[in-house]
Structure 1
Amino acid sequence: MPAAEDLTLLIQAARAAGEIALKYSGPTAQRWDKPDGQGPVTEADLAVNAMLETMLPQARPDYGWLSEESEDSAARLSKDRVFIIDPIDGTRSFAEGSATWAHSLAVADRGEITAAVIYLPQRDLLYTAAKGGGAFCNGAPIRVAAPAALNTTKVLTAKPNLASQHWLGGAAPAFHRSYRPSLAYRLARVADGGYSAMLTLRRSWEWDIAAGDLILREAGGVISDRLNKPLLFNNPTPLLDGVVAATPATHLELLQALDPKGPGIAGQ
């Protein structure tokens, strides 16, 4: 199936997901904590996931399925193409009543993302990309920020990533740090030029990163794991060894500053 046709399907699915999620009030939605410290889930996450798990496989019955809110199955590993879905990325943000949560939908073809959507319905932001077709926000082309010295750049990252053990010389570079709870939204903001980089040294679930991976690359950015290995998706254990996503120059500078023998950050 051509990536452009998959993208059309993902856009339809994302908008339908937004209609469902907006029927819930985040702070009053029923909420549970997942086992093993994997974070919260709400009735909105489950309702969106149920719709997507019906809609998307019906449209592409030969595709595999990987979603944060579905029980994983090894059956996806035998499929060339796989949906990789986070029904609501930034569930804590959703539950607190913030508007920075997103629907993250992607298709991986033999490990490479070929169609992707990140949709923030409360902010009316629809980020889209199909392989080779560029990246867009609400239909307008987007591009990563212009090159800049690292000490003047804006980087989206959590405070634990600045700890001394992760950096050569024992200190993180002097960049301007900001934070957003949704990894997908962080990647989208680098793609649209609002920030020069996003960085997480924590092991990251594929569904948080998949859509942003393609949108960032189609916008002219570079993305890798924390050891500068390319990201591949639909792994047996769907975890990535951190993520460094940035403009080309900033990506290089961050990797040169990171200690490759650093421990990373435990957990997901």
Structure 2
Amino acid sequence: MNDAALARELANAAGRLLLQLRDNEDPDGKALGAEGDRAANRLILDALRRERPDDAILSEEETADPARLKSRRIWIVDPLDGTREYGERRDDWAVHVGLSINGVATEGAVALPAMGLCFCTEFPPVLKAENRPLRMLVSRTRPAREAVKIAEALGCELVPMGSAGAKAMAVLRGEADIYLHTGGQYEWDNCAPAAVALAAGLHASRVDGSPLVYNRTDPLLPDLLICHRARADEVLGLVRGLV
């Protein structure tokens, strides 16, 4: 099984487990989210250690091992991206299984289990044309000031949504056009989404236009832009105007 297929299989398997847990359990939102994080993390990491024993792993749910920094291949995992949305039994949560090789998000899969969807680097979708008017994704609970300002400058409609993976895949699906995040993320929040976005032909970078680099000492990777390539320079220019 190649890396992309493995990522897809694990993202889908974790998604099925999370749906089963959500449908069979009735704890409050925080308890459900915590149990979902634990169960999905265990499934994915057990499988990676079995199938790719020589690769390093970085997961949101595990203490980062400094030894990973010596590895050129590292799986970067968010077993439940959007724990709050999952606990509230919403649809906008995701499972991220990404592979960074030499610091580059190379392969990966993002499952949207509640929507019955999974996107991966092996089978990227054909991109749809941008919407008119443009649609800008923002956090449903704390929209970033920069994103709101740029949406106003471009005449965008705002599209509130939950998890980072759900937002990134909304651009792939043509549901929205620009995902600009400046509020703080970690490598597991965007490695798999960036890999899938790039494979589909979208632009994915830091908000200063520099590449996304993974497997660093500090896994903080606080900002992200995903959009159509033809739109990137305009958005990046507007971001620079706000700095």
Shared fold per TM-score greater than 0.5: yes
| 1:7 aligns with one of 1, 4, 7 | 4
Query: Contact (CA 8 Å) 2:134, 2:154: kept in 1 or not?
Result: no
Note if contact 2:73-2:101 (Cα within 8 Å) is conserved in structure 1: yes
Letter of the 1:203 counterpart: G
Tell me which residue corresponds to 2:79: 87
1:146-225 equivalences under 5 Å are: 146=129, 152-158=133-139, 160-162=143-145, 172-225=153-206
Which of 89, 96, 100 in structure 2 is aligned with 1:108?
100
Residues 260 and 253 from structure 1, CA distance in 2 versus in 1: closer, same or farther, beyond 3 angstroms? same
Which residue of the partner structure matches residue 225 of structure 2? 244
CA displacement 1:93-142 (0-9 Å, x = unmatched): 00001122111111110111221111112211011114xxx51xxxxx33
Aligned-partner residue type, residue 53 of structure 1: L
Q: 56-65 or 250-259: which moved more? A: 250-259
Aligned to 1:19: 16
TM-score by length of 2: 0.88
Q: Single out whichever of 155-164 and 83-92 deviates more from structure 2.
A: 155-164
Instruction: Report the Cα distance in structure 1 between the residues aligned to 2:54 and 2:68, rounded to whole angstroms.
Output: 10
Distance 1:30 1:11 in 2: 30
Q: Percent identity between the aligned chains?
A: 26
Paired residues of 2:205 and 2:212 also in contact (CA < 8 A): yes
Q: Structure 1 residue 30: deviation in Å?
A: 6.2
Q: For this pair of structures, how many residues does the alignment match?
A: 239
2:26 alignment counterpart: 28
Change (3 A) 1:91 1:147: closer
CA distance in 2, matches of 1:179, 1:162: 14
Instruction: Tell me how large the CA RMSD over aligned residues is.
Output: 2.5
Residues 52 and 29 of structure 1: CA distance in aligned 2, closer, same or farther (over 3 Å): farther
Q: 2:116 aligns with which of 119, 124, 130?
A: 124
Higher helix share: 2
Aligned to 2:46: 54
TM-score of the superposed pair, with normalisation by structure 1:
0.81
Please list, as runs of the form range in 1=range in 2, the aligned pairs for 1:65-84 lying within 5 A after superposition.
65-84=57-76
CA contact (8 A) 1:222 1:251 kept: yes
Q: 1:118 to 1:32 in 2, by over 3 A?
A: same
Displacement of 1:29 after TM fit?
A: 3.8
CA distance, structure 2, for counterparts of residue 109 and residue 29 of structure 1: 39
Mark the runs of 5 or more structure 2 residues left unpaired by the alignment: none
Runs of 4+ in 1 over 2 A off after TM superposition: 25-33, 145-149, 158-164, 171-174, 259-262
Q: Distance in 2 between matches of 1:78 and 1:91?
A: 30
1: distance between equivalents of 2:138 and 2:28?
29
Q: 1:204–1:240: 8 Å Cα contact kept in structure 2? A: yes
1:83/1:106 contact within 8 Å kept: yes
Alignment check: 8 A CA contact 2:33 2:86 kept: no
